[in-house]
Amino acid sequence: MGIPLYLIIDPRDKTLAVLSDPGPAPGDDGPRYRSRHDYAFGDTVPVGSWVLDSGEFPAYDSS
């Protein structure tokens, strides 16, 4: 779809992933994000020209 930046927030695991640089995959697998950076809740997360303070994100209750 050509989305240049993709932010995935998982409140169950308290993690974030920033994917960027969409482009062709090797072979016939179709397009994919060629860059991935993983973070945990509480990290300062750069997403393109933005910076997120993920310490404010609510997590799911594990009970």
What is the token pair recorded at 42? 């509480």
Q: Is residue 61 part of a domain?
A: no
- Give the domain extent around 21: 5-56
Q: Is residue 32 part of a domain?
A: yes
Q: Is residue 63 part of a domain?
A: no
pLDDT at 1: 66
Q: Is residue 16 part of a domain?
A: yes
pLDDT at 12: 94
HEC-encoded secondary structure of 1-63: CCCCEEEEEECCCCEEEEEEEEEECCCCCCEEEEEEEEEECCCEEEECCEEEEHHHCCCCCCC
pLDDT at 6: 94
Q: Identify the burial level of 23 via C-beta atoms within 10 angstroms of its C-beta, where 0-12 means exposed, 13-18 middle and 19 or more buried.
A: exposed
Domain count of the chain?
1
Q: Is residue 37 part of a domain?
A: yes
pLDDT at 63: 64
Q: Is residue 62 part of a domain?
A: no
pTM: 0.84
Each of the 63 residues of the chain gets a pLDDT tens digit; together they read 678 999 999 999 999 999 999 988 777 778 889 999 999 999 999 999 999 999 989 999 876
